[in-house]
Amino acid sequence: MKRLVLAGLALLFAFLIVSHLRAMPQSSAPGSGSQVEDGALKDIQGVVKADGDKLNLVADEDGKIWSPMNPQMLKGYEGQHVEINGHVYPSKGSVHVHTVKKLDR
């Protein structure tokens, strides 16, 4: 009898977890300006700005300033419109750049 009650409680618990997860809002498509979790891979288009020795990427989409974790990847692109691909960390305002591609305006 104890096993039957425990099995019923476990089944009820599993049902509650599944229904809670299904009720959570789904994130929208990548690159649509939705909230992005830290470490997510994303493409960002923008302009590389130099502030003294520091390089930043000013995003076209929302004007957000991204600080590269590896600024050597953006050297030589100062003032140019580019698309970068990298892991973004919105909580820190930084991005680990993997690739840089110059774009024509």
- Residue 86 scores a pLDDT above 60: yes
- Residue 104 scores a pLDDT above 50: yes
Residue with tokens 């096993």: 3
Give me the pLDDT at residue 14, please.
85
16-30: pLDDT as tens digits: 888 877 776 655 444
pTM assigned to the model: 0.65
b/e sequence 40-64, b meaning 16+ C-beta within 10 Å = eeeebebbbeeeeeebbbebeeeeb
Domains observed in the chain: 40-102 (2.40.50.500)
Give me the pLDDT at residue 30, please.
46
Give me the pLDDT at residue 34, please.
52
